[in-house]
Structure 1
Amino acid sequence: MTYTIQTNNLTKSYNGNEVVSNINMNVKKGEIYGFLGPNGAGKTTVMKMIMNLIKPTSGEIIICGETVTPSSYEILKRMGSIIEYPVFYDKLTARENLELHTDYMGYYNKSAINTALDMVQLNNFEGKAVRDFSLGMKQRLGLARAIITKPEVLILDEPTNGLDPVGIKEFRNLFQMLSKDYGMTLLISSHILGEIEQIADTIGVIENGTLLEEVLMETIRLQNTEYIEIKTDSVKKAAYVIKEVLNITNFKILDDVTIRIYDMNTSQGEISKTLVLKGVLVESINKKNNTLEDYFLKIINRGAIHASTY
């Protein structure tokens, strides 16, 4: 197995307080690795250490087979990144910013600027200064800058911030193309779990600075459980009917309005008909599968699924 990014017991402390503890990540060459965790879990700190922006307290980082040290600068030429919010020369245009970046990187393929601007849909803003860009446009320019040198590794911290649904879809397609067609390795953190679910090959879940899980998305999909979800303002009455009338015992009350039935031997239509006949107002009833969000919350809360900020 070829790994592009590996960390061994990666730890970062501030004033004796560990914010990242013994992280062991394994990101395979050419894959998209979704890095998930609640706000403040340590995702950005790990990414900054991988990019050599902050130094680990202890542990090891290996990029493309090379151990990263405080003086590892050449390896950065093989990497692109968006960490937190990208910063630019606001008085310059997108093209001028990219020209400065390629000069700084010693990358003199000027046609790459046109390619990068085309990829992120910024090719029609030639005369516009970056100070007049929206947040979404700055994110697009940040990605253009990250990919312009065709790096082997992309480190992307919340890359879809500020994008509308169309922009998010365009980025999703671009990430998949960079992985499949260019062989780039992408480490992406995001709070939009539905987007990560569609593109990631592997998921890493971090909380309180500790990596709780590293698992293939295919494994998560194979674990998906089919269920029927019912929304009603009479949860207790509905639960009584489900158990006593329909003889279904494998169900769970999630909150004041939601019940999930995991016993699929009784049809959705029969359940709905029986509830209505027994005077239960059914607002909605749908057949669903567990999602990455369900899996994520289960890992974070050790099975106690509830609303969370991530």
Structure 2
Amino acid sequence: MAYIVKTNQLTKVYDGNEVVSTVDMHVKRGEIYGFLGPNGAGKTTIMKMLTNLAKPTSGEIEIFGEKLTDRSYEVLKRMGTIIEYPIFYEKLTAQENLELHCEYMGYYDKNEIGHVLDLVKLTNVDGKRVRDFSLGMKQRLGIARAIMTKPELLILDEPINGLDPVGIRELRELFKMLSKEYGITIIVSSHILAEIEQMADTIGVINNGRLIAEVSMEHVRHSQTDFIELIVSEGKKAAFILDSQLRITNFKCIDERCIRIYDMSVSQKILSKTLIEHDIEIEEISRKTSSLEDYFLKLINGGGIHA
């Protein structure tokens, strides 16, 4: 298996607090690796260590088959990154910012600048200084800069921040194209799980500094289950009826009104009839399939699907 990125027992301690704990990460060549976790879980810290912006307290990082050190200049030239918020020379234009980037990266095909601006749909900005850009425009420019030098590895921390739904879709398709057509390996974090679900090949789930799962999206899809979702007027009463009258135990109360039933042996017709007979108003009943969000929350909460 060809891994572009591997970590071995990667650990980072800040002020006596272990924010990343013994992480063993494996990213295959050419894949999109979705990095998921709650705020403060350690995603950005790991990305900073992968790009030499932070030094591990212990453990090792291997990129392109080489151990990452303070002198890994050539390795870093083969990477493109956005970590946290992209920073630019605010008084310069997008074109001028990218020209400077090419200079300090030793990349001299400046004809590519127009091409990458088109790729990220950042057009009609000639003469407009970056300080006048919206947050979404700055995100697009950050991605343009990250892909400007045709990197083999992209590390993107929340790259769709500040974008509207159209922009999010456009960049999702761009990342998939870069992976499939150019063979670029992408590590991308996002709090929008539905986006990761639509583009990732593998997901890594981190919580409290520990990598608790690293699985293919194919595995996640195969593990997804069907369920019936009920929206009712009285959740507690409905749960009692499911248990006492229909002998259903494999369900979960999501909140005071929403119940998910994982026992598919009972038809929606029987469910509706029984609940109505016990004066429970049904606002919605539908058959659904669990999502990456369900899988993620199950891992983070460390629990199963039973009530």
**Shift in Å, 1:232:** 1.2
What one-letter code is carried by the residue in structure 2 that aligns with 1:293? E
Equivalent residue number for residue 94 of structure 1: 94
Q: Deviations over 1:65-112 (max 9, x none)?
A: 111101111111100000000000111111111011011111111221
Q: Deviations over 1:222-247 (max 9, x none)?
A: 11110001011211322233334444
**Shift in Å, 1:290:** 1.3
Equivalent residue number for residue 252 of structure 2: 252
**Shift in Å, 1:178:** 0.6
* CA–CA separation in structure 2 for the residues paired with 1:299 and 1:268: 29
* CA–CA separation in structure 2 for the residues paired with 1:95 and 1:42: 34
Q: Deviations over 1:35-68 (max 9, x none)?
A: 1111111111100110011111111111111111
Q: How many residues align?
A: 305
Equivalent residue number for residue 308 of structure 1: none
Equivalent residue number for residue 128 of structure 1: 128
Equivalent residue number for residue 283 of structure 1: 283
* Mean Cα deviation higher: 260-269 or 180-189: 260-269
Equivalent residue number for residue 223 of structure 1: 223
Equivalent residue number for residue 234 of structure 1: 234
What one-letter code is carried by the residue in structure 2 that aligns with 1:252? K
Q: 1:16 to 1:248 in 2, by over 3 A?
A: closer
Q: Deviations over 1:18-50 (max 9, x none)?
A: 211111100000001111111111111100110
Equivalent residue number for residue 82 of structure 1: 82
Equivalent residue number for residue 214 of structure 2: 214
Equivalent residue number for residue 297 of structure 1: 297
* Mean Cα deviation higher: 246-255 or 111-120: 246-255
* CA–CA separation in structure 2 for the residues paired with 1:191 and 1:26: 21
**Shift in Å, 1:2:** 0.3
* CA–CA separation in structure 1 for the residues paired with 2:70 and 2:127: 39
**Shift in Å, 1:274:** 3.4
Q: Secondary structure at the match of 1:283?
A: strand
* CA–CA separation in structure 1 for the residues paired with 2:271 and 2:231: 13
Q: Deviations over 1:139-190 (max 9, x none)?
A: 0000000001110000000001000111111111011001100100000111
* CA–CA separation in structure 2 for the residues paired with 1:243 and 1:302: 24
* CA–CA separation in structure 2 for the residues paired with 1:217 and 1:74: 32
* CA–CA separation in structure 2 for the residues paired with 1:184 and 1:255: 42
Equivalent residue number for residue 22 of structure 1: 22
* Mean Cα deviation higher: 272-281 or 156-165: 272-281
**Shift in Å, 1:123:** 2.2
Equivalent residue number for residue 272 of structure 2: 272
* Mean Cα deviation higher: 295-304 or 66-75: 295-304
TM-score by length of 2: 0.95
Equivalent residue number for residue 139 of structure 1: 139
* CA–CA separation in structure 1 for the residues paired with 2:55 and 2:236: 54
TM-score by length of 1: 0.95
What one-letter code is carried by the residue in structure 2 that aligns with 1:231? I
Q: 1:82 to 1:270 in 2, by over 3 A?
A: same
**Shift in Å, 1:295:** 1.2
Gaps of 5+ in 1: 306-310
Q: 1:172 to 1:249 in 2, by over 3 A?
A: same
**1:24-173 correspondence runs (5 A):** 24-173=24-173
> How big is the alpha-carbon RMSD for the aligned residues of Structure 1 and Structure 2?
1.4
